[in-house]
Amino acid sequence: MPTPPVRKPGSVWTELPRPVSAGAEPVGRVRLGYARASTARQSLDAQLDSLAEAGVTRVLSEKISTLV
């Protein structure tokens, strides 16, 4: 999927026009967030708190190490 020109590193986020679907009206807004800890000893609590304060409605999180 091509990236729109307004989506470049360091740019301010702006909402793009919604695609026109077969008469479907948007029901609401969903804000997605991502929290990650790279070791089992690290906690996601601070990240999850910050995401909640930012109004994120759906959070994907993981604790995973890249070390083998």
What is the SS3 assignment for 65? coil
pLDDT digits (tens, 9 = 90+) for 50-63: 999 988 889 999 88
DSSP 2-22: PPPTT--TTPPP-PPPPPPPS
What is the SS3 assignment for 38? coil
Q: Is the pLDDT of residue 20 over 70?
A: no
Answer for the pair 33, 6: CB distance below 8 angstroms, yes or no: no
Q: How far is CA 12 from the centre of its chain?
A: 15
What's the average model confidence in pLDDT over 12-34?
Answer: 71
